Structures are given as C-alpha cells and as structure tokens.
Amino acid sequence: MQDLVPLARPYAKAIFDAAVDSGSTSETQASLKSLAAGFKEKAITDLISSPTLSRSEILKKLTSIFGGEVNELVNNLLGALAENDRLEICPEISNLYESLLAEHNQQLDIDVSIPVDLGDESKEGLKQSILKKYGETSNINFLVDPAIMGGITIKIDDEILDLSIKGRVQKLVNELNI
C-alpha cells in the first residue's frame, strides 16, 4: 500500500493556510473530520474508485452527499482532489491538518491526577489556573488516582509536577536512604 502522507501534505498545508487566512480553522477542522469519517464508509470508497464514473460525476455525487456538512474551503479541496484524481487521500489530509492546527495553536496535553473526583466548580477553577499558566488552547484531562493519597500531579509532555502526598513521602524516603 502506498504511503499517502507525501501526496496529502501539500493539500493539507494549502487548506490550512487558507483556513488561517480566512479565520475558519475550527470550521475547516470540523468539515475535514466529517469528510474523513465519511470516507471510511464502503459506499464512499466504492464511489471514488468507480471506473464507470467521470471525475466530475464523482465530485457531483460527493458534493450532494457532503454538501451541508463541509465549508467552502473543503468543497474547493474536494474539487481540486477530484480534478487531480486524489480523492483517496482525504482522510490523510484531515490527519495532517489536525497536526498543523495543534502546532499552530501550540496545544499541550496536560494530565492532572487527583485522588478523588472533584466537583465541577473545583475542577473548573483548577482548569482555569492551569490554562492561564500554560495557554488557553491546552487540552486538560482529569484523572482520578487514589494512589496519590492527596494533592495533585500535573503531567505536561515529559515533565511532571508532583504535589501529591505520595510524592512527598517518596521524596522523604529517598532522602533517608542516603
């Protein structure tokens, strides 16, 4: 099977640049996700690989299927892909777009471990403090881990801020075992 990333990269970059210029990065992201999900259906894959239909007929059918679900940029992308006989790379374009958008937004994945499930108000306050420090576009996941006994641990990429009782006890044990 052919690696589709080299084929998809220029299209993903072009639609990303157009989305940034038009201020529709989120809308385009949703449209591409919808398109990629549709392209997992057998009926769509059969349609785009149909030897009996012309490229323009395939495009018309796709436009009628996805018409209301995709924005103008993604509709234009479909036209370019159909014209160049590259419709099969749509899912890969969506994946590459996601990466470009995350890089553009400098999103961080932050895991916050807590010993017990906090109320929504407490979680929201903690979330706002973390977002203020690490960027408004970060993704925060709360994990309940009773093993930490109390406090919290915050994991950002490969860094861990351990403010838990378990971490403090472990630090004390390490100091005593000198």
In order of start, what are the domains of the chain with their CATH numbers? 5-104 (1.10.520.20), 109-176 (no CATH)
Burial of 8 (0-12, 13-18, 19+ CB in 10 A): buried
pLDDT in tens, 12-30: 999 999 998 888 888 999 9
pLDDT in tens, 127-174: 888 888 877 777 888 999 999 889 999 998 778 899 999 989 998 998
Sheet with 109-114: strands ordered across:
139-144, 109-114, 153-156, 159-162
The letter for the amino acid at 58 is I
What is this structure's pTM? 0.59
